[in-house]
Amino acid sequence: MSEGPPQQADAVDALRAQWERERPDLAGLDAMALIGRINRASVLLSKGMKPVFAEHGLEHPEFDVLATLRRAGAPHELTPSELVLASMVTSGAITNRLDRLERKGLIERHPDPSDRRAIRVRLTGAGLGLVDRAVVAHVANEERMLAAMPPEDQAVLSAALRQLLIALGDTRLG
């Protein structure tokens, strides 16, 4: 991490100080502080993403579905089960998201040609155009939110979080 002036205290420092005062015998406060910072950062980053999605008439979960279909490559379609695996939510949650996106004309569902019992979900032309516009604004917004951290610190944090995710078993989509 980059050298510089003493760091300003954050909200987690205050929480930690309270635990140190009330339970000086408690071990593991470093772990508690780190996980607290990860959780708080996640909440704040999610809050910072909402306006960009709203500018495109989307909510974050809807964007996730559109982005997953976009990343799948042409013809930009997957089964609902594949979407469940990619998003780590329940099939009911995916069904609700798909219903909303279909009403907006951003996706279409059609029978799988190789299995009439299965359904495929595909981006419409409008959905493809919207996700392509939204992802540009989304990435710019993410860069803006991380701008306070020098690129080398971002790289160190990214590598450390990758190591944590691997240790927790998060090594592939689905």
pLDDT band per the 50, 70, 90 thresholds, residue 1 = low
Is residue 4's pLDDT more than 70? no
> Residue 21's pLDDT is what?
94
- pLDDT at residue 158 tops 60: yes
pLDDT > 70 in the chain, percent:
95
β-pairing, 77-78 vs 115-123, is antiparallel
134, 52 Cβ separation under 8 angstroms: yes
Proportion of the chain above pLDDT 90, given as a percent = 79
How many residues are present in the chain? Answer: 174
